[in-house]
Chain A
């Protein structure tokens, strides 16, 4: 139950950050592909850098162990990503 409560609150913070970054709008998502508004990239890369630093620091301190790392299978990741990009550019989600 605690875990589900955590999920709910983490989700709220996640959704809130998406809303404040403007990523709930069609034009924000599509314009990153037109190079006219790079908010998506700035948002994603900042999140990546912050969480990478945090996670590797915590692991270095021995406070956490990593969960299952998403599997790498080049063909699947590549083809999936290519299909995903089409959907993302069309819908703006």
Chain B
């Protein structure tokens, strides 16, 4: 029991151990809920919900009615859980803290200003979510959940994601790559 508690309080696990946990979660999601672990789709469900309240005409289209139906879906609840789970992890290891920008590597690359981090994160996240929308999923919903069912889409996506990720980092870091 002591050992177990010590593991929970550790800040970082070996990525292999954490990966096994996620793998088990992936199996349980299919087994118990007949669902895949998607995170990006939930944002679209929520966006649809807000959009339908604000501008019902604009959001009354095929995408938000059938492909990514607006509403509190299974995925939205999962997303809330992900947020809480990350918080639980940080609380248990005592690293929980409200941060605006304290990643040392970010500061060394872009400068110490917090607003820069927020602006780039905001627009970068739009790009990210847009890409996920076109591809039909994100790292969790398509790459991992699709990959575990051996969907070819997942492996095309993983390849493309790494290719453009590497090029983008190359451009951002240049000499320091």
Contacts and interface: CB of A to CB of B under 8 A. Distances in A.
B168 to A, nearest CB: 4
A83 B127 contact: yes
Contacts, number: 326
Given A58-B31, A89-B165, A52 B148 contact: yes
Nearest to A26: B103
Chain B interface helix/strand/loop/mixed: helix
A55 B30 contact: yes
Interface string A1-20: 00110111111111111111
Interface residues of B, number: 97
Interface stretch (B44-52, B54-62, B78-86): B78-86
Interface of A: 3-4, 6-22, 24-27, 30-34, 39-40, 42-52, 54-55, 58, 63-64, 66-67, 69-74, 76-93
9 contacts: A20-B18, A50-B23, A63-B31, A70-B151, A80-B157, A82-B131, A84-B138, A84-B161, A89-B169
